[in-house]
Structure 1
Amino acid sequence: MASKEESVFLENINDNFLSCSVCSARYKNAKILPCVHTFCEQCLRKIVEKSGELTCPICRRSHELPAGGVAELSANVFVDQLVEEFNKQDEKKAALRKCEACQKGEIKERCVDCAANICSNCSQAHGFFPTTRSHRIFAIDEYQRAKFNNPASVRPPAYCSKHHDNQVKFYCDTCEVTICLECTAIDHPRPEHKFRYLDDAAVEYKQLLTKMTQELQIKENEAGESKAAVQQMTESVDSRFQEEIMKVKVHMEKTIEETTHKIRENGDSLLQQLKTEHEERKTNLQAQLKDLECTENDIAATRDYADKLMQYGNASQLMSAKKSMTSQIRELLKVTTKCEPVDDDYVEFQSTDNFCETKTLGTIKVTEEKRYELCGVSEYSRVDEQITLTLQVRPTGSRTGGTKVTRERITALMKTPDDNLNT
């Protein structure tokens, strides 16, 4: 029976991480897009054949299709190897617990480099041959514990895609690919190419990736805070507009006895103005809220993938994903996540007391006419004197600016400040 840790591991990885969102089956030849979403190669082929372009089914972003088609997209080595391991595990559950080497002895140990369960005799035989003498062999219980506590330590070695018998042991910084010893002499020779040991490159990149994910966490927190502020303002807009609508209705009913038809006609017009303005502002705020939610989701998805890659991936898997992961994270770090609501809740219904004289119930103030007030202006000044005006913003702040004005100009500014903000 599987242990509690194993059950949790299988549930989190197999069900939530190794299933293609298009076909709902385990990945087959997984391809990772620049947006860090992964799909089966065949599923992506069908999408391209149907729409004529490569569009991510999750985030709907369009990506440039390589000259060689879907087959040339970056392979998700990390996911492919996990799928292969889980498929093997499923097959082994149905098989007898016999040594995978001699098919006779009882399984006692696990050779990580051969990716096979072996008996004690075959384990001893590993030490007789130079090619297997350095293989990592674990007792079955020890292997099971390491598999769930430190998966990267018991991953089988990765082999070169061009030289299939050679293990990947180097990383070419010039081409940003993992390579074998034969590749360093044939396909990536010095001095044209700069390469180093794979483990050294992985350690350095893991440090960089850790720092970048920490920065992503900050961006995600900022996006969440901005989203909360926009949501609060959206609710405030609803509340504020409802209050003003009630004021219009009360005043409309108060004067209805004088001229019923015109009062209702004028009142309905004011209500429509409020409704239009309310819908416009709420639409703007909801659009901003949606953008922030998309940004937050993209950041969370990328960070979650990076966390899993660091937690479960080995050096080969980390470096295979480096190019696409780094590009996606850097693009997300450029996104503006700390922002103020695009609209505020300012609206004011100003009533008139004499409908018969003014022919209107009042006016709806929705411009910036009441958002600014002049501050710090002396009562007297010389004509054509250079002075500094402070336009106090209500309720959130202020801004200042120098301008050459006359006393008459100051009077005009104090009467209608919004009309002169750009002077």
Structure 2
Amino acid sequence: MAAATASVRKVLNQIEKDFLTCVICFERYKKPKSLPCLHTFCEQCLLTLVENQGVLNCPTCKASCPLPHGGVRALKNNIFITGVIEDFQARVKGEQKPAAMCESCQEKDAVMRCVECSQYLCQPCVKIHKNIAVTRSHQILPIGELSVTKSNDTDNMTNKSVHCNVHPDKEVRFYCDTCQVPVCTDCTIVNHRIPRHVHRDLNTAADEYLANIKSKILSKMELKNRDVESRYKASTHTCSLLQEKDKEAGKQLKNRAEMVKQQVRRDEEELRAEIREHYDFQVKDVDANISEIEMELDMISSTLSYLKKLMSHGNAAQLLSTKQETTQQIERILSSESVRPFQAEIVHFKPTEKDMPVHQMLGQLISDVHISRCKVENIPKQVLKGEVIDLLVTTDSTGKISRCMEISVAP
């Protein structure tokens, strides 16, 4: 019995979560209102929504819902959901009080319940219930084995009486074909009077509508549903394909970028090595040039120092004793060609331009040309005035950087 009760309670909780909960406040519906798109929400939730947004768009499907005269409160009540909530509350209450009193004899605890009559019965009254011709075919279940999902319970739930919105103390018993709303007896006299309004028995109209749904509407809706599902699958497949292609293109871009980075690093290393080789070579030359100038400077300095000392501290004999050597040394110094300063060849790094080829992605090296480092070849023995000649000029002693110059001899 306890296991069955727990099972029923679990089913009831699941129904409340999936069917009786407003998606705005996440609580059980209070005054459920139905929108034209058939989605249902609490009246107060819709009032707050309209107050904040100024318009009413369905929170579930985003459909625009024009408000009737009277606003949210004039929207149709969802009497189906209201009925389910009432039945649900009754069932939960019954689950909370399994030891209910027999509703037939009012003397003993109930152990069974008649699904059709919605009566709790004790064991003796169950036998009486089954012996009466009218109730003999009724389904009677133990209290702990009641299930809100059984078809008979559903039929019983949907057949519960519904009261009129205009006349709350009256049950709706008719259907107005003119206004397409269920009405009570008072409505047929006051607001839905014949002959302007055509109404008929509520159950007859419901049976006809149910038969129409089963024979025509359901098949069309199912066909439409399959079509939409097919288009949904096609769109989701397209979405997946786009995401896959996005990843694929991103991967290709990453691989290409990595390859370019590696090429750039190789180019950087090559250019850096070329720059270093160029300047290392020149540093050696300038070092040699500096050594030569130092030697010349030392010679001049030592000679000057000797002359100054001799002039300041030497006597006549001492001054004339080295006249010949001193004179020769001075003449050598003054007549010798001084070592010229080293003319550096500067290499500039020129960044690549937009139209540069891929192998020059970073840039290229451009050097200055100094006459002192140039070698001219193909010089003719005789040149006439105004004649244009081509000379081969090598601008680097290593022979790595060469240019051809066109020289015009001035007339």
Matched, 1:226 2:235: yes
Please give the alpha-carbon distance, in whole angstroms, between the structure 2 residues aligned to 1:190 and 1:238: 70
Q: For the structure 1 residues 54 and 123, does the alpha-carbon distance in structure 2 shift closer, same or farther, using more than 3 Å as the test? A: farther
- SS of the residue corresponding to residue 63 of structure 1 reads coil
Is 1:175 the counterpart of 2:183 in the alignment? no
Deviation at 1:194, TM superposition (A): 6.2
Aligned pair count reads 269
Residue 93 in structure 1 maps to residue 95 in structure 2: yes
- Deviations along 1:365-388, one digit per CA (max 9) or x if unpaired, are xxxxxxxxxxxxxxxxxxxxxxxx
Kept after mapping to 2: 8 A contact 1:32/1:75: yes
The answer to whether the Cα contact below 8 Å between 2:163 and 2:171 also exists between their aligned partners in 1 is yes
Which residue in 2 is equivalent to 1:197?
205
Post-superposition shift, 1:230? Answer: 1.7
TM-score where L is the length of structure 1: 0.50
CA RMSD of aligned residues (A): 4.5
- Deviating more after overlay: 216-225 vs 82-91: 216-225
What letter is aligned with 1:225?
A
**1:56 Cα deviation from its structure 2 partner:** 3.7
| Gap change, CA 1:115 and 1:136, over 3 Å in 2 | farther
Tell me, what secondary structure is at the counterpart of 2:182?
Answer: strand
Which of the pair has more CA radius of gyration?
2
Q: Do the aligned partners of 1:169 and 1:198 also contact (CA within 8 Å) in 2?
A: no
Distance 1:192 1:352 in 2: 87
For residues 36-185 of structure 1, what are the structure 2 equivalents within 5 Å?
Answer: 36-95=38-97, 96-100=99-103, 103-107=106-110, 110=113, 115-118=118-121, 137-141=138-142, 147-150=148-151, 151-155=153-157, 156-161=159-164, 162=166, 168=172, 170-179=174-183
Tell me, yes or no, if the aligned pair for 2:162 and 2:172 is still in contact at 8 Å: yes
Q: Which amino acid aligns with 1:211?
A: K
Structure 2 alignment gaps of length 5 or more: 272-348, 365-411
For 1:32, the equivalent position in structure 2 comes to 34
Assess if the C-alpha contact under 8 Å between 1:160 and 1:168 holds in 2. yes
Within the candidate set 205, 212, 225, 1:216 is matched to 225
> Which residue matches 1:315?
none
Superposed displacement of residue 82, structure 1: 1.7
Fraction of identical pairs, as percent: 27
Structure 1 unpaired stretches of 5+ = 268-350, 360-423
Measure, in 2, the Cα distance between the counterparts of 1:225 and 1:45. 39
1: CA distance, partners of 2:181 / 2:210: 12
Aligned equivalents of 2:240 and 2:116: distance in 1?
54
Q: 1:98 to 1:54 in 2, by over 3 A?
A: same
Secondary structure (helix, strand or coil) at the match of 1:46 reads helix
- For residues 188 and 261 of structure 1, what CA distance do their matches in structure 2 show? 97
- Inter-partner Cα distance in structure 1 for 2:140 and 2:47: 43
Whether contact under 8 Å (2:8, 2:147) holds in the other structure is: no
Does 1:243 pair with 2:252? yes
Distance 1:46 1:67, change over 3 A: same
Q: Is the 8 A contact 1:159 1:165 kept in 2?
A: no
* Aligned residue type for 1:79: I
Greater mean deviation of Cα atoms: 142-151 or 56-65: 142-151
Q: Quick one: which amino acid aligns to residue 140 of structure 2?
A: A
Report the alpha carbon displacement of residue 236 of structure 1 after superposing the two structures with TM: 0.8
CA contact (8 A) 1:99 1:106 kept: yes
Following superposition, the deviation at residue 355 of structure 1 comes to 6.1
* CA deviation after TM superposition for structure 1 residue 185, in Å: 6.6
Shift, 1:36, TM fit: 3.5
- 1:94 CA displacement: 3.8
For the residues of structure 1 that align with 2:246 and 2:42, how far apart are their CA atoms? Answer: 45
Map of 2:17 onto structure 1: 15
Counterparts of 1:353 and 1:115, CA distance in 2:
88
What is the rounded CA distance, in whole Å, between the counterparts of 1:122 and 1:7 in structure 2?
24
